[in-house]
Amino acid sequence: MFVGDDRWSVAVDLGNEDPEATALAEYERSHRYQAVVRWDWVAHPHWEPGHRVELQCEAIRLPRGTVVEILEKVSRVDGGTGEYVETVSAGVVRWG
């Protein structure tokens, strides 16, 4: 039985001759958020990874005014209803 997180990340920096510097940069990148959150909704197809936004709605159960950086977004259209839905993963930069 496995309990835990099994996410792998590979960083290739051919111009860097110091693998410790690459490893440290990847560690800092992966630990710069207070939390990582995920939600589904029908909104904002223009939001892309890298965008920072201040949330002004409470429908996704985050405090109003929370600032997040979009990390990943998966968009899909439900074949039965024709409804556009997004799953957004974001790092919390500042809680509202």
Domain that holds residue 61: 33-94
In a domain, 70, yes or no: yes
Report whether 70 contacts 50 (CB < 8 A): yes
Report whether 50 contacts 6 (CB < 8 A): no
In a domain, 18, yes or no: no
In the prediction, which pLDDT does 58 show? 73
What is the number of domains present in the chain? 1
10-residue mean pLDDT profile of the chain (96 residues): values are: 53 75 74 85 82 84 89 87 88 89
In the prediction, which pLDDT does 2 show? 47
In a domain, 64, yes or no: yes
In the prediction, which pLDDT does 68 show? 92
In a domain, 4, yes or no: no
In the prediction, which pLDDT does 67 show? 92
